Amino acid sequence: MLFSSLTFVYVFLAAVLPIYFITPKRFKNHVLLISSLIFYFFGEPICVLLLLISSLANWLFSLYIAPRRGTRAAKAALVLAMVVNLALLGFFKYADFFVSTVNSILGTHIPLPGIPLPIGISFFTFQTMSYTIDVYRGEAQVQKNLATLTTFVCLFPQLIAGPIVRYTDVAAELEERSSTVEGVSSGISRFAVGLGKKVLIANMMAEVCSAFRSSDERSVLFYWLYAVAFTIQIYFDFSGYSDMAIGMGRMLGFKFLENFNYPYISKTITEFWRRWHMSLSTWFRDYVYIPLGGNRVSKVKWVRNIAVVWLLTGFWHGAAWNFIFWGGLFGLLLLIEKFFLGDILKKLPSVVSHIYVMFVVILSFVIFNANGMAGAFSDLGGLFGANGIPLSGSESIYYLKSYAVPIVIGAIGSTPIPKFIWGKLKRGPKAVLEPVCMAAVILVSTAFIISGSFNPFLYFRF
């Protein structure tokens, strides 16, 4: 069920919220759990069982680990828990990749399993893993109530595309929370902003990308128009989803952490990854990078740690070599910055370092969205006129003229400028304007949804 669908906004959410608000506190988690399972069942009927198995397994492992912290038995249970979690993720997400890789290396013809990918499996697997690890470390109290832990795992606002919410972030709120008028109001505003990002900007950029893929024209201009459009699309698509998730969390009394902080204003790749998909970056930092030794090891091991983290980051995003290459590329760039470019970038004018970051980011997203490595090299070559393709063509000029304004709006909207301007409004006018503006965004978005086509969130594939 898409957040940006009429069914979700005007049927599911419109039904769940009133029921949730009038339900006594001691039963609110039950309402959330039931509604979250219905939400997931709507898109993945069979895979609801996988969600429940994942919750039950980690609940049982943690119950066993908690009273045995510091013992070999606890460590063995933790290892087994990680094997179970990763086995489920590997089977459902990477089975085809592993089989096809074996076939290509050995020349075999093993049939691909063709297992459907459960929506959001990467997100809820990382959440359950972090809970069990935190219990083992003593950073989280074990949750003895299975329904409460399952509610945490299944929370529909962030279930299928993040942000990756850790148990320690919401443990207190799972036990005691309240939905205030202010919280509901700010949540609705945040949800409206996210809906507008997705429907009014991301979907429009998706039209450019779709036109490029379906066109026979190949020109340098069209490749760059596609690359810029996808860079805008993926930011507004994913940050829009995060905004809606955070907004609904506020309505329900939860305070989810931010997932984006204007990454396109970064002046280094290091800064970019501190601002982009922050819940994933911090997850890999806390559960992979630091346990490997972080930067408190020899330089050789430090390089290894960074390489491991970024190859895994790429692989987490998708079961294809272009994702692994994409992650490895960022790992390499981060190492180059740390060893060579860091001091140079600090001395450069801000505009130059910003151009460097955006150039790299745009190229990286071309690799990210390519059809395998062959498609990645083909698309990268097209950006620089490989195979003698012309600089422009009639279609590329048409789409540039047609979408120039939305592209400019998207570029400006990815910076803090709109927020700065909004913040300059005086308190009185803002109090009147905000509900009017948010209502307008929801109404216009609804009109676009009615007249538009189905366009799922990009990160649903993960």
Of 227, 237, 294, which is closest to residue 260 (Cα–Cα)? 237
CA atoms within a 13 Å half-sphere pointing along the CA-CB vector of 429: 5
Is 317 among the catalytic positions? yes
- State the catalytic residue, choosing from 30, 109, 317, 354: 317
Question: Which residues are identified as catalytic?
Answer: 317
